[in-house]
Structure formats: structure tokens, C-alpha cells
Amino acid sequence: MVRTLRLEFDAKGVVKLEGLAELLKNATLEELDSTADQMKHVAKSLVRVDTGSLKQSIRKERRGDRISVRAGGYVTNPKTGQLVNYASIIESKYPFMMPAWLMVREGIVERIQERVRRRWMAYE
């Protein structure tokens, strides 16, 4: 379904139009941030656990406008004391990140649209 935003071309409408790009960006980043939190929790519930190090390493990272969910990369195996990238080893045999993404992505566009709609209505 395509949704449209109605613009009034008076002084108030011009202000709304000028702020539209920022409104869209902020609403999108807020929803992606929220979805990344959900994905992190789902991935932690799906990952196979041996020592728990991989599960503890699943995290959301945000650098500017870039939001990601990552695992491993810096984990020390408590049994051996060696730095290990568990995520790539486990993910190839027992996927947990891709299934987590597939579970949380449903409806993301609609949730972004709803955030935009609520912010847009707040201008009026």
C-alpha cells in the first residue's frame, strides 16, 4: 500500500517540507535501532551455547548512521585462553544471525511508516 503525505503550501507547510528529510531519517534510524535490539535478543536465544562466550559477544553497534548486530571477533575461549572467532564457525554449522534477522525484519517498513506518520502528525 502506498501512503502519501499531504503538504500545504503555506508557511507552515513549507517548514514541514523542509524538515521532511530529517524526519524520515530520524524515524528510520529509530526503527532500525529498535529492530537491531530485537535481533540481538533473538540471536542470543538461538545461538548454541558451549561456554557462553559467543552468546555474550552478540551485540548491537552504532557508528553514526550505521547500525549493526555483530557477534564474536574479540572473544577469548575460557577453556584455552586463545582469541577465537566463534561466530563464523558456529554460524556456518548452526545459523543464528540470519534466522534472527528473518524473524525481526517482518513489518519493518510498516513500522518505519508509522513512526513517520506519528512524527508528521506532531508537526500539526
Q: What is the pLDDT of residue 2?
A: 42
pLDDT for 32 beyond 90: yes
pLDDT for 1 beyond 60: no
Residue 112: partners with Cβ closer than 8 Å, 6 or more residues away: 27, 28, 31
22 — pLDDT class (breaks 50, 70, 90): confident
pLDDT tens-digit map of 87-120: 877 888 899 999 999 999 999 999 999 998 888 8
Q: Which amino acid is at 71?
A: A
Q: Find cell 557477534 and name the residue.
A: 71
